[in-house]
Amino acid sequence: MILAACRAEGHPGIARAWPELGTTMSVAAWGADSDRVLRALEAAHDSVDRIDSLLQRPMSIPPIDSLRRAVRQRTGVAVPIDSIAYGYALDRAAMAVANAVDSALLDVGGQYYWLGRPTHRAVGIPDPDNTLRTLGVVDLQGGSLRTASRRNAPPGSARSVTVLAPNALAANAWAAALLALAGGCDRALAVAPEMGVVCADSASVRWTTGLQNRVSLPAVRAP
């Protein structure tokens, strides 16, 4: 996922990045007390580091188990725990910084979480079959945005599903489940009409009414 634009906050931002969960975790945060912001960033990193360690062995994590059951009841898709670890880690990191910063942008493995007052950040949805192109751009005003995709998707199947949700675990789990649904975008959008969902197949890019006026498509180039 591509962060296409980022508006500056009132205070200078502090950014950090670390290797975690087999990918990169990054946090940019804004606040009046820079020392407090730095401590919050380290706390966020420590929380994700602990989750990374926990996931090295089989175990039950109640929030993940509960959401997996809800997703399976609604879609029939059993989402693997390791495929939604990014979302759970992001939520824990957001909790670690919430009371110490004015706002923060967190990213684990290309999943974003905006914490703070509503804002406008343009997040590009990459084309899984051409990394130089985007399928569209979503206006991220708050919450978490996750894209699940697959290359060379067969005709009639979804090749990219982006979910915007209030928390990262939900965005992660629903994006994974909706991509796996038989029936492609027609079924994905029908199953989750109340969610913020952008679905792309070989024919078009469509989204739920909750994202009306918050999704833009790239201009069509003349042949």
Token output for 76: 């029939």
Q: What residues of the chain score a pLDDT lower than 70?
A: 1-11, 220-223
CB atoms within 10 A of CB 183: 13
Euclidean distance between CA atoms 165 and 76, whole angstroms: 20
Instruction: Label residue 151 exposed, middle or buried (CB < 10 Å: 0-12, 13-18, 19+).
Output: exposed
The predicted pLDDT at position 220 comes to: 59
Contact residues for 94 (Cβ-Cβ < 8 A; gap 6+): 44, 104, 106, 113, 115, 168
28-51 pLDDT per residue, tens? 999 999 999 999 999 999 999 999
The predicted pLDDT at position 117 comes to: 87
Euclidean distance between CA atoms 163 and 208, whole angstroms: 10
Going across the sheet that includes 103-108, the strands are 13-20, 23-30, 103-108, 111-115, 143-149, 160-165, 196-200, 205-207
The predicted pLDDT at position 131 comes to: 86
Element (H, E) at 26: strand 23-30
The domain at 2-216 falls in which architecture? Roll (3.10)
Element (H, E) at 15: strand 13-20
The predicted pLDDT at position 74 comes to: 93
The predicted pLDDT at position 10 comes to: 63
The predicted pLDDT at position 4 comes to: 43
Q: What angle do CA 181, 184, 188 make, to 5 degrees?
A: 65
**Does residue 45 contact residue 16 with C-beta atoms inside 8 Å?**
yes
